[in-house]
Amino acid sequence: MNGQVKDVPCGIQCLKHICNNCCVHHQINWKPWYQAGILVTTFLAYTCYHLTRKPISVVKNVLSQNCSGILPPSDVPINDSIHWCDWAPFDTEDAPALLGLLDSSFLFAYAAAMFLSGIIAERVNLRYFLSLGMIASGISCYLFGIARPYGIHNLWYFVLVQAIGGVFQTTGWPGVVTVVGNWFGKKKRGFIFGVWNSHTSLGNILGSVIAANYVESDWGLSFMVPGAIMGLVGFFIFLFLVPNPTDVGCSPPNSHVYRKIEASNSSDDDAYVDVGDGPHTTGEDDPNDNSRSESSPMLSGHRRIYGAPQDSAIGFVGAMKIPGVIEYSLSLFFAKLVSYTFLYWLPLYIAASTTYGTSLSAYLSILFDVGGIVGAIVAGVLSDYTGMSAFTCVIMFGLTFPALFIYDYVRNASLGVNVILLLIAGLLVNGPYALITTAVSAELGTHPSLGENSKALATVTAIIDGTGSIGAAVGPLLAGLVSRWAGWHNVFYMLMGSDLLALLLLSRLVYRELRLYVQRRRIL
């Protein structure tokens, strides 16, 4: 423990006071407890962010459905038997496009605000940033739900509420990734982030379960309950989140130094390996060091150390110049296009293309997120083991293409086949998406070209996730239009094409990773 204590959350102060009084004769090493608490609090926080995003995909099935199989009340005209049970203004033939507009209003607002959110996050206290963002996001989700008891049917009300929710949701990702990056070093970062990133899928699962529980009785509660939960967790974050080790007198993760590798026949300007802290001889490497290093080709090229002032916030243009940021950003554009199309349309797609009901379709869509949890962990472990993040992503992108093709054509074989294919699709779609938005973003945000600049993580995360979020906005919008005019088969062709483009955009980084891997093997 060192450094000056500042702005300690009142919940932490109370806990320390209680522990110090109960353990008078024992000296407590607080840093491991803080680190565990950071993982728990940020995990809960981002679980809630996705908890409030998921209900719209479940409720779509009752906002617009085929009412011909439901016996209408006596006061409903016979010629209106198809749409009598729909919720206006989604009671028309253009309902898929209108529902797609709701998705896009949220996602385009999210994508546009994300770039600014990352810049703000570098300059403010992340405890206030996250807690206020969560409370405001919970309120916007709650406002969508009150349309049911208050009989609100104005399309622009729903669009505005979705857009406001999208803006406040941008506080989540730059905030939680930066906090975790502040507390943890590079070793086993892929595995830590892989396990931690399961909050995304867990939030989707809980959101689906809560929404499915109320969707057929009172769909307004499908939004109001998650909104209330998020507001309460936001207050919990305000009480207990410690965004930086120095706030409580702990030392930050060990800084690293980089030693240049002289490799023959290399066209890269420079190549560095992470050799840890302290003095090192120039003639030896530790062959047993399997920790993730900045020698990964995604970080190769132009690795000159600049003397940026310590703790100064990097600008947008400076973050864009970090090697690998542009490639991963564009790849994530297409990866999130695929992932968010599933997020917002999978329950409706299952209900429309099978004989399963609304609730069963919602519960089946959970399997996609279960597979996503496994995929995030697998991608993180493979990235740690190989030291090649781009190569890991490309392998999973390559396997996603046939998986989507098979699912589209054999989903109706049986319920068991549907379950297995959804798990596989979730694993392959969400694995590289999770890796890019967590471990890769964290490494690029601490790239050696930044020198002592420690405030790039939120900006880099926002650039990568913001670019991906534009794809996340485009995907559901196109899915609504394509499914309406060309059918669901063509939606899957669109997703497979996007997956192929995500793969190709990383090809240059994969080439560098493989070449540098061979060079390092020769040196060792």
Instruction: Give residue 395's pLDDT.
Output: 95
Instruction: Give residue 314's pLDDT.
Output: 63
Window from 77-86, 96-105, 114-123 with minimum mean pLDDT: 77-86
Asked if residue 152 belongs to a domain, the reply is: yes
> Distance between CA atoms of 460 and 118, rounded to whole angstroms?
8
Whether 134 and 176 have beta carbons less than 8 Å apart is answered as no
Instruction: Give residue 401's pLDDT.
Output: 92
Instruction: Give residue 209's pLDDT.
Output: 92
pLDDT band at 286 (very low <50, low <70, confident <90, very high): very low
pTM of the model: 0.73
Instruction: Give residue 64's pLDDT.
Output: 80
Which helix (H) or strand (E) segment holds residue 274: the answer is strand 272-274
Asked if residue 135 belongs to a domain, the reply is: yes
Percent of the residues in the chain that have a pLDDT greater than 70, as a whole number: 79
Q: Are residues 50 and 141 in the same domain?
A: yes
Whether 301 and 268 have beta carbons less than 8 Å apart is answered as yes
Domain count, the chain: 2
Q: Are residues 440 and 519 in the same domain?
A: yes
Residue 432, preceding bond cis, omega within 30 degrees?
no
Single out the residue of 41, 50, 90, 48 nearest to residue 67, CA to CA.
90
pLDDT band at 39 (very low <50, low <70, confident <90, very high): very high
Q: Are residues 333 and 413 in the same domain?
A: yes
| Higher pLDDT pick, 414 / 69 | 414
- Phi and psi at 350, nearest 5°, equal -65, -45
| pLDDT over 50 (residue 387) | yes
Instruction: Give residue 262's pLDDT.
Output: 40
Asked if residue 289 belongs to a domain, the reply is: no
Q: Are residues 239 and 111 in the same domain?
A: yes
Angle 188-189-194 (CA atoms, 0-180°, nearest 5)? Answer: 105
Q: What is the mean pLDDT of residues 497-502?
A: 95
Q: Are residues 85 and 224 in the same domain?
A: yes
Q: Are residues 228 and 323 in the same domain?
A: no
pLDDT band at 524 (very low <50, low <70, confident <90, very high): low
Window from 242-251, 303-312, 471-480 with minimum mean pLDDT: 303-312
Instruction: Give residue 334's pLDDT.
Output: 95
Asked if residue 284 belongs to a domain, the reply is: no
Window from 60-64, 389-393, 494-498, 509-513 with minimum mean pLDDT: 60-64
Identify the domain containing residue 37 by its residue range: 33-71+80-251
Asked if residue 88 belongs to a domain, the reply is: yes
Whether 322 and 444 have beta carbons less than 8 Å apart is answered as yes
- Concatenate the DSSP letters of all residues of 241-272 into one string: ----GGGBTPPPSPP--EEE---TT--SS--E
Instruction: Give residue 454's pLDDT.
Output: 47
By the 10 Å C-beta count (0-12 exposed, 13-18 middle, 19+ buried), 44 is classed as buried
Asked if residue 508 belongs to a domain, the reply is: yes
Q: How confident is the prediction for the chain on average, in pLDDT?
A: 80
Instruction: Give residue 291's pLDDT.
Output: 39
Tokens of 162: 């979705």
Instruction: Give residue 123's pLDDT.
Output: 85
Instruction: Give residue 148's pLDDT.
Output: 93
| pLDDT over 60 (residue 292) | no
| pLDDT over 90 (residue 85) | no
| pLDDT over 60 (residue 1) | no
| pLDDT over 80 (residue 70) | no
Instruction: Give residue 261's pLDDT.
Output: 37
Instruction: Give residue 287's pLDDT.
Output: 39
Whether 110 and 167 have beta carbons less than 8 Å apart is answered as yes
pLDDT band at 258 (very low <50, low <70, confident <90, very high): very low
Q: What is the mean pLDDT of residues 302-312?
A: 43
Window from 223-237, 238-252, 310-324, 346-360 with minimum mean pLDDT: 310-324
Q: Are residues 241 and 389 in the same domain?
A: no
| pLDDT over 90 (residue 459) | no
Q: What is the mean pLDDT of residues 54-67?
A: 84
Asked if residue 207 belongs to a domain, the reply is: yes
Instruction: Give residue 488's pLDDT.
Output: 86
Q: Are residues 241 and 376 in the same domain?
A: no
pLDDT band at 424 (very low <50, low <70, confident <90, very high): very high
Among candidate residues 207, 231, 251, the one where a domain is terminated = 251
Among candidate residues 251, 274, 295, the one where a domain is terminated = 251
Q: Are residues 223 and 340 in the same domain?
A: no
Q: Are residues 399 and 491 in the same domain?
A: yes
Q: Are residues 372 and 514 in the same domain?
A: yes
Q: Are residues 247 and 322 in the same domain?
A: no
Instruction: Give residue 111's pLDDT.
Output: 87
Window from 105-119, 253-267, 471-485, 505-519 with minimum mean pLDDT: 253-267
454 Cβ contact list (under 8 Å, min separation 6): 252, 310, 311, 446
Instruction: Give residue 446's pLDDT.
Output: 58
- The CATH number linked to 518 is 1.20.1250.20
Q: What is the mean pLDDT of residues 384-388?
A: 85
Asked if residue 401 belongs to a domain, the reply is: yes
Single out the residue of 83, 449, 71 nearest to residue 294, CA to CA.
449
Q: What is the mean pLDDT of residues 100-127?
A: 88
Q: What is the mean pLDDT of residues 457-482?
A: 84
Among candidate residues 230, 251, 272, the one where a domain is terminated = 251
